[in-house]
């Protein structure tokens, strides 16, 4: 029986889709059969980040409306053996997502996969509610700034009240906090909230810290999930996140400013 994980945040532009792509790829690299679903109907992005945009024929909405079979809409990832992408529609709007339809798709996927990763749209409207409704666990993506933290707080409240687990009185959705676009140097300069500030404000177990990096932009533009960017701190950080999610102990990295040595500064190494 698959575990359903929603990647959510409330606020837009914090790194939900980047995280969905990297996290799902990471699970697949560990050998788990994984599917990642784009719930952002009308603003289809996940296929771009995964580099499969030219292979989309059918999408989630087609499946929900009965125009295609699930197997026709699932796109096999070109880098990971065990990873599938379920894209969404670019031309429809989020009203095309019906709760019965989403439930049917989830039930079907549950039997075939180990992990179902749901990439939530921003906001707290129906699209986001659909994405989080079936979740067993949630990764709340937050940037170290106050508006993002506040929106994450809001979405954590909604998770606790509006998910299927909450409605049916089951054990609550397991919450994880993922801090992205973290720049230790700017934290030191007082421009960003620190890790401690965010933890203190949200009081949710920390799954990891992804440093601010140009590598993310390069990865997005090339359609490569960031976890595949070899020798980058971003890829390492996402690998740590996956490991911690699977229950392994990993120390936090990339949370202190890099000390530039004297000679390196002198000779610009």
* Rounded Cα distance, 39 and 46, in Å: 9
Supply 27's token pair.
């699970």
* Rounded Cα distance, 107 and 8, in Å: 21
Report CA dihedral (106, 108, 110, 116) to the nearest 10 degrees. -50
| Contact between 174 and another protein per CB under 8 A | no
Tell me the number of residues near another protein by CB under 8 A.
12
**Interface residue with another protein, options 154, 174, 239, 250 (CB under 8 A):** 154
| Contact between 160 and another protein per CB under 8 A | yes
Residue 62: count of CB within 10 angstroms of its CB: 20
For the CB of residue 134, give the shortest distance to another protein in the complex, in Å.
Answer: 20
**Interface residue with another protein, options 30, 150, 164, 199 (CB under 8 A):** 150
Tell how strand 75-76 and strand 83-86 pair up: antiparallel
| Contact between 179 and another protein per CB under 8 A | no
For the CB of residue 140, give the shortest distance to another protein in the complex, in Å.
Answer: 11
* Binding positions for another protein, 205-244, rule CB under 8 A: none
For the CB of residue 227, give the shortest distance to another protein in the complex, in Å.
Answer: 30
Q: 146-162 and 195-202 are packed helices; what angle lies between their axes, rounded to 10 degrees?
A: 30
Q: 16-29 and 214-222 are packed helices; what angle lies between their axes, rounded to 10 degrees?
A: 80
Helix (H) / strand (E) element for 121: namely: none
**Interface residue with another protein, options 161, 217, 246, 258 (CB under 8 A):** 161
* Binding positions for another protein, 3-42, rule CB under 8 A: none
Burial (Cβ within 10 Å: 0-12, 13-18, ≥19) of residue 145? middle
**Interface residue with another protein, options 68, 201, 215, 252 (CB under 8 A):** 201
Binding window for another protein (CB under 8 A); candidates: 47-55, 187-195, 197-205, 223-231: 197-205
DSSP state of 169: T
**Interface residue with another protein, options 157, 205, 257, 261 (CB under 8 A):** 157
| Contact between 156 and another protein per CB under 8 A | yes
Binding window for another protein (CB under 8 A); candidates: 62-70, 81-89, 200-208, 214-222: 200-208
The residue among 27 and 156 lying less far from another protein, judged by its C-beta, is 156
Supply 215's token pair.
């590598």
Binding window for another protein (CB under 8 A); candidates: 20-28, 44-52, 129-137, 157-165: 157-165
Report CA dihedral (90, 13, 84, 36) to the nearest 10 degrees. -100
* Rounded Cα distance, 78 and 82, in Å: 10
Interface residues with another protein (CB under 8 A) are: 150, 153-154, 156-158, 160-161, 172, 201-203
């Amino acid at each position: 029986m698959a575990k359903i994980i929603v990647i959510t945040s409330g606020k837009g532009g914090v790194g939900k889709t980047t995280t969905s792509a990297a996290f799902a790829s990471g699970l697949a690299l560990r050998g788990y059969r994984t599917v990642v679903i784009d719930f952002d109907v009308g603003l289809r992005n996940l296929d771009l980040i995964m580099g499969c945009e030219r292979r989309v024929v059918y999408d989630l909405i087609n499946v929900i409306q009965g125009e295609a079979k699930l197997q026709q809409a699932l796109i096999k990832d070109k880098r990971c053996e065990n990873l599938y992408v379920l894209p969404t529609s670019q031309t429809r709007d989020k009203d095309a997502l019906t709760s019965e339809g989403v439930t049917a798709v989830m039930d079907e996927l549950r039997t075939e996969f180990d992990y179902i990763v749901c990439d939530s749209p921003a906001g707290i409207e129906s699209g986001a509610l659909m994405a989080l409704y079936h979740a067993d666990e949630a990764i709340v993506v937050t940037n170290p700034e106050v508006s993002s933290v506040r929106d994450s707080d809001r979405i954590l409240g909604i998770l606790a009240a509006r998910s299927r687990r909450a409605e049916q009185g089951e054990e609550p959705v397991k919450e994880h906090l993922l801090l992205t676009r973290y720049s230790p140097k700017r934290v030191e300069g007082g421009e960003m909230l620190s890790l401690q500030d965010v933890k203190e404000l949200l009081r949710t177990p920390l799954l990891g810290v992804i440093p601010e990096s140009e590598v993310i932009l390069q990865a997005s533009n090339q359609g490569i999930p960031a976890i595949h960017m070899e020798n980058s701190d971003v890829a390492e950080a996402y690998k740590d996140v996956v490991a911690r999610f699977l229950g392994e102990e990993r120390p936090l990295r990339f949370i202190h400013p890099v000390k530039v040595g004297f000679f390196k500064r002198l000779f610009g190494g």
